[in-house]
Amino acid sequence: MIRPILRYGEQPLHEPAPPVGEITGDIQQLIDDMIDTMYAAPGIGLAAPQVGVALRIFVADVSIGRNPADLLTFINPDVVERGGVQREDEGCLSVPGFNATVSRASRVVVKGLARDGREQVVEGTGLLARCFEHEMDHLDGALFVDRLRGLQKDLILRRIKKLSRTGQW
């Protein structure tokens, strides 16, 4: 089932998500729904808070569904290593229509549970590293806009406020 994606300003996006206690049938259904929602958007990653569920879960697929082996699910993830720097344009399904250059690590190692409950450690470089950090930000209650400074951030936030006032956000 495709779920609605929350937008910047909606409270669940701005609060840290608690860990998953047990991988139940409801959690499996949530993961299926998140995958369907991510592909339908289309996007390369989606965190549970983006669909209004305050839990530490994210899905990612930088192939956007072209390679089934690229689909990753993380439950209760932690970044265990990061290194290097990349500055690239970044967008977000919760901030549609806006992009900005964001600094991220060029290599990120994430440890967490796969959907079957087994522990996994995955190294991401380039786009996958960016995706990992972006989704981890969501689990910590932050969006890419929160990483911006100065005029760039002000312009985006003013535009979002204007869209909100006119009912277009």
Which residues participate in catalysis according to the annotation? 135
Q: CB of 88 within 8 A of CB of 101?
A: yes
Partners of residue 82 on adjacent β-strands: 108
Burial class of residue 126, CB neighbours in 10 A (0-12, 13-18, 19+): middle
Q: What is the DSSP string of 1-21?
A: -PPPPP-TT-GGGGSPPPPP-
What does DSSP say about strands 119-125 and 86-91: parallel, antiparallel, or unpaired?
A: unpaired
